[in-house]
Chains A and B, each alone.
Chain A
Amino acid sequence: ELKVEQNPLFLSMQEGKNYTIYCNYSTTSDRLYWYRQDPGKSLESLFVLLSNGAVKQEGRLMASLDTKARLSTLHITAAVHDLSATYFCAVVLTGTASKLTFGTGTRLQVTL
């Protein structure tokens, strides 16, 4: 059974600071996604990472994937209040095509 763990579960950070969210998964995966969810809202796709060493960047967010370590990171650079949300990683188990297994989520709160 594929298990996906994120840490921290909750992160409070000041504007302008940098921080990293970690996503660990337990078995071989074909690809990994990062999603953002604002309170009471649906999920917004941020990144898809397909291979070992993949790195994607969008604005102040950068995601990377290390398939050997079964680890993905979401790095936040110079945080701003608008980044406050819950971030989920989701992993596709090798050979299961479309089945996403989600992590528990990291609730990010950026304070002024």
Chain B
Amino acid sequence: SQTIHQWPATLVQPVGSPLSLECTVEGTSNPNLYWYRQAAGRGLQLLFYSVGIGQISSEVPQNLSASRPQDRQFILSSKKLLLSDSGFYLCAWSAGLEETQYFGPGTRLLVL
């Protein structure tokens, strides 16, 4: 069966510091991968998605970036965090573009 992991689970970072969040999927090959952000008490906003290694589509222009160095690894980064970057970051995968997306456990980020 497929499993999705996210690391770290929680993170407290000062404004202006860099960020790296990692997502890995097990039990499948060539998944579609997604990064979402959920602000406190709000719905989810799609940030990036990837259909293959090195292929990244950005949905929201901001100071975040994403990379996919390996087939089942998706990384969310920032060079300088803003207060507004605080939130719950969820990674998801799907077997195809028209398949159900399954979400990881999430990373809770607090920028102070």
Chain A residues positioned under 8 Å from B11 (CB to CB): none
B90 near A42 with CB under 8 A, answer yes
The dominant DSSP class at the A interface is: strand
Q: Is A100 an interface residue (CB 8 A)?
A: yes
Chain A residues positioned under 8 Å from B49 (CB to CB): 98-99
A99 near B46 with CB under 8 A, answer yes
B43 near A42 with CB under 8 A, answer no
- Knowing A98-B32, A98-B94, A98-B101, the reply to whether A42 touches B46 (Cβ < 8 A) is no
Instruction: Jot down 29 A-B pairs with beta carbons below 8 A, ordered by A.
Output: A30-B98, A31-B98, A33-B100, A33-B101, A41-B105, A41-B106, A42-B103, A42-B104, A42-B105, A43-B44, A43-B90, A43-B103, A45-B102, A45-B103, A48-B100, A88-B43, A90-B44, A97-B98, A98-B34, A98-B49, A98-B94, A98-B97, A99-B59, A101-B46, A102-B44, A104-B42, A104-B43, A105-B42, A105-B43
A binding-site residues for B, Cβ under 8 Å:
30-31, 33, 35, 40-45, 48, 88, 90, 92, 97-105
